[in-house]
Chains A and B, each alone.
Chain A
C-alpha cells in the first residue's frame, strides 16, 4: 500500500523518490529525516527520526531531587536554564514549597532573558541561512544596502555604505579563504533563495551584529545565577541574596547597582529586537510571503502549558502571562484547558518508538512513564542496524516517544503559543500578530506556515524583552517595600518530607512546552520523566497513525531540487529543534550514528 490518509488529515503517498537527510544540521542533537517526493517534486510522505537515545530518566533514579535541576541543565547546550527551572518547579510542586515573590520575579527575568537570547541566536545563527544567502551578499551594492537599511529601520545606527562595504570585504575574504565556516553546507546556488543581494548583505551583517550583541544578554543570567553558561538554581527560590542598599564590597549580595546594570541590558535588548530583529523579519518576510509552506499542525492542533506567573506560586492559567491552552481540529473558537496532572490528557505512546511498554496499544501518563529502550528496525528497512539506508516507518523508527494530548498530535513552540494566545484573545499577542500581518499584507492564514513560525518567534522575543522590564520594576518595588527574601528553606531538609510524593513542573521553553514529572520516595527520586518540546514536535506516528508536527509540516512542500533539501531544512529549523534532550546520543552497538550524507 503506497497511499493512506492519517486520522489527522494528511494523505501520505510513499510511491515517489525517497530523499534522506541525515543528520539534519544546524540543530542541537541528532535528527534524520526521510521524505517521498512525487514527479512534481512535491513532498507526499515525511518521516522524522530522532537518532539518539536519552536516558535522563534512568540516571536520575535514586538521586537527591534537589540536585535534579543540575543534571537536567547539562542535557544540552541551549536551553539549560529552562530545564533547571522546570525541575525545581516539579520538586517544589511535589513537596508543597512556596517561593518568595522576589524569587518569582528573578526566575521570570531569567526565563525571559533566555527567551530573548535563544530566539535571537536561533534566528540569526541557526535559521537565517535558510532564507539568506551569504554568497549572494557579495554581489550587493553597499550604498543600496545602506538605503535599504535606513528604509527598514531608520533608528538603527549602523547603516552607512562604508560599514556595509567593510562587512562585505570581510565576508569576501572569508569566502575566498575557501573555508566557509558557519556558511558551509549551504546550497547557495539553489533557486529557493529569493532575496536580492542587498537584503542578503543586510541580514548577514546583522548575523554578525547579533553574534556580538548576544553576549550582553547573558550577563542577566550571570548576575542572578551566579555563574554563566550553566547558572545556579535552587529548590525553594533563587540562590542569590539581596541587599538593595549594600555597597560594592567584595562578595556583597545583589544591590541597586547590579539591578541597574540588568536594567540597562534589558533596555539594549529591547532596542536591538525593535531596530534589528523585527525589521529583518518584515524585510525578509516580504520576499518570501509567497512561500507559505510548512504549516503542518499549526492551524489544526497546538498546545501551550503557559509560563511566567505574575504572582508567585499561582500556576493557574489566568495568572500566567504566556498563554496556556489547547486548540484542536483547527477550531480557533475553542481553547481547551490543559491539566498536566490529568492521566487522560497527556500520554506518551511508543508503537513507533524504540521503547517497550507492557501494552503498546495504550499510552502512559508521564507520572507512570516507562523508559525502556528497544531498538529494532522494521522488516522493510534498508541497510543494516548500524547503517540505515532507509527507515521503515510502519514499524518502530525513532528514539522519540509520541506524546499526545487527548489523543491528538500537537505542535508546541512560539507559533503554538501565539495561536493559543490569538484564539484566547490575548491583547499583546493579538496586537503583535495583526501589526505583522498588516506590515506583510497577508491574511491571517499566512500565520500557519514556516514563515509564521519564524515570525512568531521574533514577536515573542520582542514581548519577552519588554516583559523583563515589568518584572524588574516589580522586583525593585517589592524590595523597596522591605521584602528582600529570595528563598524559602522551610522544607529544604529531607527530614521534613513525606515518604511518597509526586509533582509536576512546567515552563514554556524557547522551543515549546516543557514539563518534568517527578515521583519522590524516601527522599530520593523514584521516577523522573521529561516531556520536552521536541518530543512533541518531532514525535513519530502513534498507534492511530497520526503524524507528528515535523512530519506534518513537510507535507505538500515543493522542492526546487530534491537533492538539495533547503526547503526541508528551512521548515524543520523553524521549529528550533533540539534533539539533544528529546533523545540521547547512543547508536546500536555503541556506534555513533552521526554522519553527514544527503542521499
Chain B
C-alpha cells in the first residue's frame, strides 16, 4: 500500500513508465432491475461498436462494490455509466464531472451496489489513487421495480447519446475510439452472455440457434480461449502505474 511496489507483489511493479493515461470506462448496475441495468447495457454497446487503444479498459462492473476499487485506483480517467436518481424527469441524461461525481453516486442509493460507489471512490482516494478526471454519465430511470425486466425504451434510447458523450470526453483527452466495421455480435459481449440483451428480453432462448458460452460446441470448437496476453491481463488486474508516475 504505502510502499506501493513492496506491497503489490507484481512482477511488473513500478518499473515501466508510460505516458498514455489509464482510462476506465465502467458500467455499473443490476441487469435484473429494468433501468438499473443502464450502465452495464451502455458499456456493452460501447464495446460492441468501438475498439479502443490498449490504455482504455471498458468494463462491466455489474453489482460489484469494493471489488472495483483496484480498477478505480489504476485509472487516471474514469467514466461511469449508471442509472442515477437525479430527481429529473424520467429518461433524462445528465453529465456530471469532477468533484461533483461522488455526490450524485451517493445521494440516494438506488443501486444494489450498496457499498455505494461513493464509498468505493473514497477508498481509492484514501489509498492515494484518485482518478484525475471523472465523468458520470447518468440517466434518470423510468422504471426500476420491474424485476427481470429490461431497459424501458426511453432509457434504451439514451444509450447512443450516452456513448457519444463518453467518446467526446475521451476525445477531449486525446483518446480516439475506432468504430468497428460491424458491431460485435452479442455472443462477444463484455457483460453477461447468458443475459445478452436480445436473449434476456426474449426470455426463452432457442438453444439450437443461440451460440452459448460453455456449450459443447464452444468447447469442442475452441470457443473458449485463454487470455490473449496472460501477463498483460494479470498486470492489468493487479494494477499498473499511472501515467507520469
Cβ–Cβ < 8 Å partners of A141 in chain B: none
Cβ–Cβ < 8 Å partners of B234 in chain A: 219, 261
Of all chain B residues, which has the CB nearest A181?
B122
Q: Which of A167, A253, A492 meets B2, CB within 8 Å?
A: A167
Q: Which of B53-89 contact A (CB under 8 A)?
A: 59-70, 85
Helix, strand, loop or mixed for chain B's interface? Answer: loop
Q: Which of B68, B126, B144, B212 meets A229, CB within 8 Å?
A: B68
The stretch of A43-51, A435-443, A583-591 that contacts the partner chain: A583-591
Q: Is A321 an interface residue (CB 8 A)?
A: no
Produce 1/0 per residue, B205-238, CB < 8 A to A.
Answer: 1010000111110010010111111100110011
Q: Which of A166, A208, A250 meets B229, CB within 8 Å?
A: A250
* A158→B70 contact, CB < 8 A: no
Produce 1/0 per residue, A150-189, CB < 8 A to B.
Answer: 0000000110000100110011001000010110000000
Q: Which of B31, B128, B145, B224 meets A253, CB within 8 Å?
A: B224
Produce 1/0 per residue, A79-103, CB < 8 A to B.
Answer: 0100000000000000000000000
Given A222-B237, A254-B226, A590-B145, A59 and B122 touching (CB < 8 A)?
Answer: no
Q: Is A470 an interface residue (CB 8 A)?
A: no
> How far does the alpha carbon of A166 sit from the alpha carbon of B67 in the complex, in Å?
25
Q: Which of B1-50 contact A (CB under 8 A)?
A: 1-3, 6-9, 30-33
> How far does the alpha carbon of A76 sit from the alpha carbon of B205 in the complex, in Å?
24
* A59→B2 contact, CB < 8 A: no
* B127→A211 contact, CB < 8 A: yes
Cβ–Cβ < 8 Å partners of A235 in chain B: 214
> How far does the alpha carbon of A250 sit from the alpha carbon of B231 in the complex, in Å?
11
Q: Is A240 an interface residue (CB 8 A)?
A: yes
The number of chain A residues touching the other chain, given as a range, is: 35 or more
Produce 1/0 per residue, A444-476, CB < 8 A to B.
Answer: 000000000000000000000000000000000
Q: How far is the CB of A463 from chain B (nearest CB, A)?
A: 22
* A251→B213 contact, CB < 8 A: no
Q: Which of B65, B128, B214, B230 meets A77, CB within 8 Å?
A: B65
* B112→A229 contact, CB < 8 A: no
Given A181-B123, A212-B8, A219 and B238 touching (CB < 8 A)?
Answer: yes
Q: How far is the CB of A245 from chain B (nearest CB, A)?
A: 14
Q: Is B164 an interface residue (CB 8 A)?
A: no
> How far does the alpha carbon of A584 sit from the alpha carbon of B123 in the complex, in Å?
27
Cβ–Cβ < 8 Å partners of A77 in chain B: 62-65, 67, 112-115
> How far does the alpha carbon of A218 sit from the alpha carbon of B68 in the complex, in Å?
11
Q: How far is the CB of A484 from chain B (nearest CB, A)?
A: 12
Q: How far is the CB of A479 from chain B (nearest CB, A)?
A: 15
Cβ–Cβ < 8 Å partners of A29 in chain B: 112, 114
Q: Is A147 an interface residue (CB 8 A)?
A: no
* A55→B115 contact, CB < 8 A: no
Q: Is B183 an interface residue (CB 8 A)?
A: no
Q: Which of A62, A158, A229 meets B203, CB within 8 Å?
A: A62
* A212→B7 contact, CB < 8 A: yes
Q: How far is the CB of B128 from chain A (nearest CB, A)?
A: 7
* B194→A71 contact, CB < 8 A: yes
Residues of A within 8 A of B (CB): 27-30, 53-56, 58-59, 62-64, 66-67, 69-71, 74-78, 80, 121, 125, 157-158, 163, 166-167, 170-171, 174, 179, 181-182, 208-209, 211-216, 218-219, 222, 226, 228-230, 232-235, 239-241, 248, 250-254, 257-258, 261, 268, 487, 489, 492-494, 524, 580, 584-586, 590, 592, 594
5 A–B contacts from the bound complex (CB under 8 Å): A58-B147, A64-B204, A228-B237, A233-B214, A489-B216
Beyond the given A218-B237, A219-B238, please list 4 additional residue pairs across the A-B interface where CB-CB is below 8 A: A28-B65, A212-B70, A239-B213, A594-B110
